[in-house]
Amino acid sequence: MNDINKSKEKQKKPLILIAEDIPQNLEVVCNILRKEGYRLAMAGNGRQALEMVPNVVPDLILLDIMMPEMDGFEVCQHLQKDPETKEIPVIFLTAKAETADIVKGFELGAVDYVTKPFKGTELLARVRTHLELKFSREALKELNATKDKFFSIIAHDLKDPLQFLLLAADSLHNNYDNLDESKRKNYIHRFYNNSHLISALLENLLQWARSQTRSLEIKPEKIDIPALAAESINLLEGNAQKKNIRISTQIAPGTFAFGDKNMIRTVLRNLISNGVKFTPPGGEVIVNAAISAKDNRVEVTVTDNGIGMDAQYVDGLFRIDVKQNIPGTAKERGTGLGLILCKEFLEKNNGSIEVSSEPGKGSCFTFTLPAGVL
Per-residue pLDDT of 265-310, as tens digits, reads 889 988 998 999 999 999 999 999 999 877 889 999 999 999 998 8
**Confidence at 259, pLDDT banded by 50, 70, 90:** very high
**Confidence at 338, pLDDT banded by 50, 70, 90:** confident
**Confidence at 6, pLDDT banded by 50, 70, 90:** very low
- Give the CATH superfamily of 219-374: Histidine kinase-like ATPase, C-terminal domain (3.30.565.10)
- Lowest-pLDDT range of 144-158, 218-232, 291-305, 344-358: 144-158
Residues 6 or more apart whose CB falls under 8 angstroms from that of 19 comprise 42, 43, 44, 45, 46, 48, 49, 61, 62, 63, 64, 67, 72, 75
Q: How confident is the model over 224-231, as a mean pLDDT?
A: 94
In whole numbers, what is the pLDDT of the chain averaged over residues?
84
Please give the pLDDT value at position 280. Answer: 93
Residue 157 has pLDDT above 70, yes or no: no
**Confidence at 334, pLDDT banded by 50, 70, 90:** low
Please give the pLDDT value at position 152. Answer: 62
- DSSP letter, residue 156: I
Which SS3 state, helix, strand or coil, does residue 323 take?
coil
Share of the chain above pLDDT 90, in %: 40
Burial 252-284 (b: 16+ CB within 10 A, else e): eeebbbbbbbebbbbbbbbbbbbbbbbbeeebb
In the chain, beta strands by DSSP E: 15-19, 39-43, 60-64, 90-94, 112-115, 220-224, 246-249, 256-260, 284-292, 297-304, 352-358, 362-370
Per-residue pLDDT of 180-217, as tens digits, reads 888 888 888 777 777 876 776 677 677 666 666 665 67
Residue 154 has pLDDT above 90, yes or no: no
Q: How confident is the model over 87-115, as a mean pLDDT?
A: 84
Please give the pLDDT value at position 109. Answer: 85
Residue 7 has pLDDT above 50, yes or no: no
Q: What is the CATH number of domain 3-141?
A: 3.40.50.2300
Q: How confident is the model over 46-67, as a mean pLDDT?
A: 91
Exposed, middle or buried: residue 7 (CB in 10 Å: 0-12, 13-18, 19+)?
Answer: middle
Please give the pLDDT value at position 311. Answer: 87
**Strand bridging mode 362-370 / 352-358:** antiparallel
Please state the pTM of the whole predicted model. 0.55
Q: How confident is the model over 13-20, as a mean pLDDT?
A: 92
